């Protein structure tokens, strides 16, 4: 999908779900890492993360577009367009737009380290490495070993 096709999709979604035109710009931004999209008020531009289209699909992208259009239309009308504003929450509910996007499958980390107490056998799962010389079991004060 190109930026022009994305712009046409945003215009279509805006007319269908919001019954308002979208005369401004929308584009893909591959540098977005932690979000599906963003609205830039100064430029009146919507940016979408292309990885969501590749990994999850069109339905998720349309949800992201609807969310960003909520920001856009409220900003243009001079109303509260930030996540904390009640007008924004109400428009999300009316248009059946998602509040958050799902995490990308490629960003999910399943790297958990497992440690076991030598004395009582209790198992600890941690995302970060633990210094077993310095830290011990919280239940019996025994030594830990990496499993």
The answer to whether 124 touches 115, Cβ cutoff 8 Å, is yes
Phi, psi (degrees; rounded to nearest 5) at 69: -65, -30
Catalytic-residue membership of 68: yes
Q: What angle do CA 43, 46, 48 make, to 5 degrees?
A: 140
DSSP string, 45-114: EEEE-HHHHHHT-HHHHHHHHHHHHHHHHHHHTTS--STT-HHHHHHHHHTT--SSPPPPGGG-----EE
CB 18 within 8 A of CB 69: yes
Q: Is 125 helix (H, G, I), strand (E, B) or coil?
A: strand
List 47, 55, 60, 68, catalytic entry: 68
Active site residues: 68
């Amino acid at each position: 999908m190109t930026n022009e096709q994305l712009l046409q999709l945003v215009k279509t979604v805006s007319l269908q779900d919001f019954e308002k035109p979208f005369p401004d710009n929308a584009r893909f931004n591959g540098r977005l890492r932690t979000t599906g999209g963003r609205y830039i008020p100064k430029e009146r531009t919507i940016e979408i993360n292309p990885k969501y289209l590749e990994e999850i699909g069109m339905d998720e992208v349309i949800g992201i577009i609807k969310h960003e259009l909520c920001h856009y239309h409220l900003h243009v009308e001079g109303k509260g367009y930030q996540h904390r504003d009640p007008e924004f929450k109400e428009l999300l509910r009316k248009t059946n737009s998602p509040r958050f996007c799902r995490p990308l499958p490629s960003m999910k980390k399943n790297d958990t380290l497992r440690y076991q107490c030598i004395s009582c056998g209790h198992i600890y799962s941690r995302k970060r490495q633990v210094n077993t010389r310095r830290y011990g079991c919280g239940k019996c004060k025994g030594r830990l070993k990496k499993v």
